Amino acid sequence: MAHKKKISTKQKLLAKNKVDALKEGGVSPSMGTRTATVQALEVLSSQGVVAALRGQKQGISDLLHNTDRALSIKLAVVYGAGLLVERDEDEWHSLCAAQEWIDHPKVKPKRTDPLRAVLRLAVGFEGKKADSTVHRYYKALSPLFLEKVPADQIPIRILEAGGIEKMRQNSARSIVVNSTPDILQTLHGVTKAAQFRAWITVYPLGGGVANVTIEKLKQPKKK
């Protein structure tokens, strides 16, 4: 039993060192971004969501226009926390029990919006700057969150976009609907909410556009 306890303590110390390094912006220049991101995400799983999010707070609001690797890794951890609390009820309850929500009762985490909740805890609650930062990061990351892009891919996605701000600007997703003239005419003729049975083909997202083809459309018979 003593041997197991010693290993557990060592693991906690290693995880703590990683958290401290991230707080100081201490991502080693010689370490690959993917490796650094994976290590950061290990801290998330070993320390829990709340501790990991608090560890990202320093500098997260000051690097908005930066492609800096440290920022992208911080955002990967926050994004990863969102994926975790979405599927893990215990972690969600831990997030909701954080003191920050008690200190700011007007802002409450919503179960249906885990990404915004983790962003808020990581960025903070003070003033319009925090509100703006949460909104900007949310707009940039939410399309990836909806697609369930793995957290360790976030830094490269930010880099490819040219930074988090450009990612935000390019985050709009559109859906193009294709079908036969008769079906399209039926859709255009809808004047109020209506239910249909549809046979559709959805093509992979590309260039921010999702293509949907309606093969067949049928309105249920009235009872």
Report the alpha-carbon distance of residue 67 to residue 71 in Å, rounded: 7
* Longest pairwise C-alpha distance within the chain: 74
Paired tokens of 129: 């700057």
pLDDT score at 6: 42
Residue 188: which pLDDT band, with cuts at 50, 70 and 90?
Answer: confident
Residue 103: which pLDDT band, with cuts at 50, 70 and 90?
Answer: very high
Paired tokens of 76: 């990967």
pLDDT score at 223: 59
Which of the given ranges, 113-122, 191-200, 211-220, has the highest pLDDT on average? 113-122
35-84 pLDDT per residue, tens? 889 988 998 789 999 999 999 988 787 655 455 788 899 999 999 999 99
Q: Per mean pLDDT, which range of 2-6, 171-175, 184-188 is the poorest?
A: 2-6
104-135 pLDDT per residue, tens? 999 999 999 999 999 999 999 988 989 999 99
Residue 161: which pLDDT band, with cuts at 50, 70 and 90?
Answer: confident
pLDDT score at 17: 40
65-74 pLDDT per residue, tens? 455 788 899 9
pLDDT score at 36: 87
Q: Would you give the distance in Å from CA 102 to the centre of its chain?
A: 23
The residue ranking higher by pLDDT, 118 or 171, is: 118
Please compute the mean of the pLDDT values over residues 194-205 and round it to a whole number. Answer: 84
